[in-house]
Amino acid sequence: MRRKFLIFSLVGAFITLGTLNMFAAGKEDPASKLPFKKKLAWANGLFREGSFYSAEEYYSQLKKEQPRNPYITYMLGECLYKTRDYPPAAEAYQQAFDLAPELYPDCPYKEGIMRKQNGDYERAIERFKFYIKNYKGKNKKMKVYAQREIDGCVMAMNSLNNPGKAFVKNAGPNVNTAYTELSPLPLGDTALLFATMNQNKIIIYGKDKRKDFVSRFMWAPKEFDRTRVKDSFEVAMKFEDGRFNDPKYHVGNGSWSPGGSRFYFTKCKEEDSMKITCKIYVSEFNKKSGVWGNPTEPDPSINEEGSSNTNPYCAMVGKKEVLYFSSNRKLQSAGGFDIWYSVYDSARKTYRRPQNCGKKLNSPYDEVTPYYDSKHGKLYFSSNGWVGLGGFDVYSADGGPTRYGALANLGFPINSPADDMYYIQDNGAKDNGYVVSNRLGSYFVKNPTCCDDIWRVIKEPSFYVKGVVVDELTNDVISQAVVKMSDEGTGAVKDTFFSKEGNFLFYTPMGNNYAITADKSGYISGRTTISTSGKSSMDPDDTTMVTIYMHKITNDFEFHVQNVYYNFDKEISNLILMEH
């Protein structure tokens, strides 16, 4: 029997390519009729080849024949993990451990990872704690890794309760398909360049033409009306400004040099076990002819032999022009894919030997998709090796290119329990941006978190209320007052301010109604309200000025209490009657 595969997702264009056997079920699938041992060998072969969707199908068939077989259950979990189908993967790992705890002692750890990436943080913490308590292996780092995952779960729950001032929405069907989209690159304020497999139907690897499913550059203009450019996109079109797309390769990860005269991108191709290997290319713009030159490799040291090199991003760091990229080269590596950089000499048109960005940035795991914000001197990248909310999270670090500090997780909502990569900002004043994610809400062909979409990151306008507490009779400022901001609907206290001099300032997130109250001993509480429910993400930053008046309690001050009526049909009223 000849194996043919269906391609489902190009995960970040740098690690794996998911596949599914074309003979999925029914009479057309001869492998489904094999006896148990031969079908198991068939499934194992598919797994070794990296066709995890295909292997999953046959392990599922085998599990129906032997539902309590621990090996089959474990391998099913491995396939679901590889294809990022988190809930059933967690269940499979749990079942494998229950069936054979001595054979699969790491299953509680893997189950915890899957529950974490599904956003079930409390259950994930339980599994990690169980793993730490019962681990008897020789690798002492495993307990450290499990504790790091617990710390990530705690961070995630705290971040959910205090999310960042932004919201994230899917870029929509004119940009995203059921397969993978990656490497968004804003074209000013009016369009977006990105890479896509551009397919909504199942692709049969070996049958469908390669040129129809390889990742390629496309661009989508933003929609607009008579007054403004909107934050949605028109139908995407082929990007034909240069000879960048190549039907033989997966193409993506575009970046212009600071002056716009060079365009960097990657060409990637499947190798053994469907592993993706990438090389960085550059094309130079010829001012005389007005066309882009043929793409070439920038320097032998950039694409080091035997390694995969991807995610180029070129930016000014101080007065230096720096090419950042991600590579899994071994020498000087912290482990996995690291962020590297090379300084470009524009006079000589040469690249200095690449340097590792260091262990304050790179972990023993993977760091990918660098983006440098020259305006604020920050490097953004994604990693699965630091304390995080999910799988790959977006981080920022100050400095560059040699030294970095203040490593920070961007938190919710930019990060999610799933994988989040390719964070990049617009050049506008509000620093809106994009992120690539397989979070729930992405378009998919297999499972809800299989495939990556481009998501729009919209920073909320900063709305504040600024005020002063005064005596309503004398108009004097009242010092030493306690001012609280509460949700007017629920009464939940959102923030508290001890006003030594009578002034206060609160941040009032968009889309809510707030009550501001002031209290001080010897005074009647003062109150005012403010609403941001009618505000839009397109509105500018704004600060509302308010005054809270309080009345001083004196000897001649009178309180008037209205009549209080009891409903004697209520249970508490019956209790009062019984006591009398």
pLDDT in tens, 508-548: 988 899 999 999 999 999 999 999 988 877 788 889 999 99
| The predicted structure's pLDDT at residue 424 | 97
Which residue's structure tokens are 């509680």?
A: 108
| DSSP 3-state of 162 | coil
Q: What is the full DSSP assignment across 490-556?
A: T--EEEEEEESSSEEEEE--SS-EEEEEEE-TTEE-EEEEEE-TT--TTSPPEEEEEEEEEEE--TT
CB 280 within 8 Å of CB 255: no
Mean pLDDT along residues 448-473: 93
Task: Answer yes or no: is pLDDT of 101 > 80.
Answer: yes
User: If we measure between CA atoms, which residue out of 328, 351, 331 comes closest to residue 341?
Assistant: 351
459 or 481, greater pLDDT: 481
Task: Answer yes or no: is pLDDT of 572 > 70.
Answer: no
| DSSP 3-state of 170 | strand
Provide the CB-side half-sphere exposure for 295 (13 A, CA).
Answer: 17
β-pairing verdict for 338-345 and 355-356: antiparallel
User: If we measure between CA atoms, which residue out of 343, 342, 403 comes closest to residue 377?
Assistant: 403
Least reliable range by pLDDT among 264-273, 334-343, 473-482: 264-273
Mean pLDDT along residues 391-403: 95
Mean pLDDT along residues 35-47: 95
pLDDT in tens, 140-161: 899 999 999 999 999 999 999 9
What's phi and psi for 520, nearest 5 deg? -160, 140
Give the distance, in angstroms, between the CA of residue 204 and the centroid of all CA atoms in the same chain: 29
Domains of the chain: 5-161 (1.25.40.10), 166-459 (2.115.10.20), 463-552 (2.60.40.1120)
Q: What's the pLDDT band for 28 if we cut at 50, 70, 90?
A: low
| The predicted structure's pLDDT at residue 228 | 53
pLDDT over 90 percentage in the chain: 72
| The predicted structure's pLDDT at residue 131 | 97
Mean pLDDT along residues 182-188: 94
Which residues does 452 contact at the CB level (< 8 Å), separation at least 6? 9, 10, 11, 12, 180, 181, 182, 419, 421, 436, 437, 438, 442
Mean pLDDT along residues 293-316: 96
β-pairing verdict for 5-10 and 291-292: unpaired
* List of long-range contacts for 405-410, beta carbons under 8 Å, 24+ apart: 405/360, 407/360, 407/361, 409/155, 409/159, 410/164, 410/380
Which residue's structure tokens are 């929405």?
A: 169
Q: What's the pLDDT band for 55 if we cut at 50, 70, 90?
A: very high
Q: How many CB atoms lie within 10 A of CB 16?
A: 18
What distance in Å separates the CA atoms of residue 86 and residue 390, rounded to the nearest whole number? 11
When the pLDDT of each residue in the chain is averaged and rounded to a whole number, the result is 89
CB 221 within 8 Å of CB 191: yes
| The predicted structure's pLDDT at residue 26 | 40
| The predicted structure's pLDDT at residue 20 | 38
pLDDT in tens, 243-290: 899 999 999 999 999 999 999 999 998 876 567 899 999 999 999 999
Distances (CA, A) of 251 to 28, 30, 256, 281: 34, 35, 15, 10
| The predicted structure's pLDDT at residue 568 | 57
Cα distance between the two ends of the chain: 89
What distance in Å separates the CA atoms of residue 81 and residue 52, rounded to the nearest whole number? 9
| The predicted structure's pLDDT at residue 576 | 45
Q: Residue 367: enclosing H or E segment and its boundaries?
A: strand 367-373
Task: Answer yes or no: is pLDDT of 388 > 60.
Answer: yes
| The predicted structure's pLDDT at residue 108 | 98
| The predicted structure's pLDDT at residue 89 | 98
| The predicted structure's pLDDT at residue 431 | 81
